[in-house]
């Protein structure tokens, strides 16, 4: 199949189950929403070496938030609910409560599983906190040096999906990079999902484990390395391809990942120099979800 003159490989992306929390951060203006959200979701690319996976889902206009200020949804992922709850507590407590002018609301008020993060964080007020209601939500108001910090009692957690992905292959590294940037820009407006890697892009697509070192959880995907094309057997780097980037997408559900893949791939194929789109999988053996590229269009 071809899209905008770019080959879409007949393959599928393989994705996994992970627990997902969604937090709504508001602040004085867009800039401070962004600063707090970036700090809270930093060091959160892959569970292989980060304490959790995390990212900014989307920005919200004042008319979409409980306190009528600018906001953003962030998402935090972990395999285990308990560990995820620790991560929410630490990331919100250290990176949002501490940030100028922020407030924190539940991003999944209708989820079955609710974690009382706000209740736990209000103890920071050392007894001076007050229970209130804002926009129909139960919140705590915690006195601080800047003024009062507002945090909702609960944060919802759902069964999410991690590891949705596609590969962008281009004539050269710069074309691949620009296409990857455009794909991430487009995905940033899709509701329900995040691209947890730096700037949304993975430069170092990996395989599970290692051929040579038993102690490694993951290592370079040598069959997709342009500079190894002539050094490895069965290289999957087509002739004329000199740069490949992977976009990894986590989502609250598989539909949001599909929508992100569809929009991201479409945008990438419009960038000059892009030759082929592929995706990463493990033969369907590891992940719960298989997303066929051709089914997206």
Least distance in angstroms from the C-beta of 123 to a copy of itself: 5
Secondary structure letter of residue 232 according to DSSP: S
When computed from its CA atoms, the radius of gyration of the chain, rounded to whole angstroms, is 21
Secondary structure letter of residue 188 according to DSSP: T
**Closest Cα partner for 115 from 151, 144, 141?**
151
Strand 70-78 and strand 193-194: pairing? unpaired
Cβ-based nearer residue to a copy of itself, 154 or 269: 269
Cβ-based nearer residue to a copy of itself, 136 or 272: 272
Cβ-based nearer residue to a copy of itself, 80 or 270: 270
Q: Binding marks (x or -) toward a copy of itself, 56..95, rule CB under 8 A?
A: -----xxx---xxxx------------------xxx-xxx
Q: Which of 88, 99, 247, 277 binds a copy of itself (CB under 8 A)?
A: 99
Q: Which of 51, 79, 109, 238 binds a copy of itself (CB under 8 A)?
A: 51
Number of residues near a copy of itself (by CB under 8 A): 109
Least distance in angstroms from the C-beta of 202 to a copy of itself: 6
Q: Which residues contact 103 (CB under 8 A, 6 or more apart)?
A: 25, 26, 27, 67, 69, 139, 149, 150, 151
Q: Which of 206, 250, 256, 281 binds a copy of itself (CB under 8 A)?
A: 206
* Contact positions with a copy of itself (CB under 8 A) in 263-282: 263, 266-267, 270-273
Least distance in angstroms from the C-beta of 138 to a copy of itself: 20
Residue 50 binding a copy of itself, by CB under 8 A: yes
Residue 198 binding a copy of itself, by CB under 8 A: yes
User: Which residue has tokens 């780097």?
Assistant: 237
Q: Which of 1, 2, 80, 147 binds a copy of itself (CB under 8 A)?
A: 147
Residue range at the interface with a copy of itself (CB under 8 A); choices 7-15, 131-139, 206-214, 252-260: 206-214
Cβ-based nearer residue to a copy of itself, 123 or 297: 123
Residue 3 binding a copy of itself, by CB under 8 A: no
Cα–Cα distance, 200 to 90 (Å, whole number): 23
Cα–Cα distance, 4 to 274 (Å, whole number): 10
Q: Residue 115, class by beta-carbon neighbours within 10 Å (0-12 exposed, 13-18 middle, 19+ buried)?
A: buried
Q: What does the block give as tokens for 160?
A: 């999410």
- For residue 85, count other CB atoms closer than 10 A to its CB: 21
DSSP 55-105: EEEEEE-GGGSTTSSEEEEEEEEESSHHHHHHHHHHHHHHHTTTSTT-EEE
Q: Which of 35, 113, 119, 238 binds a copy of itself (CB under 8 A)?
A: 35
Q: Binding marks (x or -) toward a copy of itself, 241..260, rule CB under 8 A?
A: -xxxxx--------------
């Amino acid at each position: 199949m071809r899209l905008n003159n770019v080959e879409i490989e007949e393959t599928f992306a393989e994705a996994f189950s992970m627990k997902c929390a969604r937090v709504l951060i508001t602040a004085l203006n867009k800039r401070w929403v962004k600063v707090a959200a970036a700090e809270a979701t930093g060091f959160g690319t892959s569970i292989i070496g980060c304490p959790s996976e995390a990212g900014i889902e989307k920005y919200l206009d004042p008319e979409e938030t409980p306190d009528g200020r600018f906001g953003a949804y962030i998402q935090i992922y972990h395999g285990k609910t308990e560990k995820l709850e620790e991560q929410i507590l630490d990331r919100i407590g250290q990176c949002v409560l501490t940030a100028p002018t922020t407030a924190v609301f539940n991003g999944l008020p209708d989820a079955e599983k609710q974690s009382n993060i706000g209740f736990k964080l209000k103890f920071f007020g050392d007894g001076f906190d007050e229970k209130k209601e804002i926009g129909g939500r139960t919140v705590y108001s915690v006195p601080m040096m800047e003024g009062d910090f507002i945090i909702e009692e609960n944060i919802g957690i759902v069964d999410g999906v991690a590891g949705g992905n596609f590969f962008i292959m281009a004539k050269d590294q710069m074309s691949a990079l620009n296409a990857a940037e455009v794909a991430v820009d487009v995905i940033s407006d899709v509701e329900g999902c995040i691209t947890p890697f730096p700037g949304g892009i993975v430069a170092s697509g990996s395989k599970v484990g290692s051929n040579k070192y038993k102690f490694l959880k993951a290592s370079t995907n040598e069959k997709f390395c342009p500079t190894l094309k002539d050094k490895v057997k069965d290289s999957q780097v087509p002739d004329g391809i000199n740069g490949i980037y992977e976009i990894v997408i986590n989502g609250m559900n598989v539909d949001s990942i599909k929508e992100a893949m569809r929009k991201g791939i479409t945008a990438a194929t419009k960038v000059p120099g892009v030759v082929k789109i592929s995706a990463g999988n493990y033969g369907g053996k590891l992940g719960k979800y298989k997303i066929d590229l051709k089914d997206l269009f």
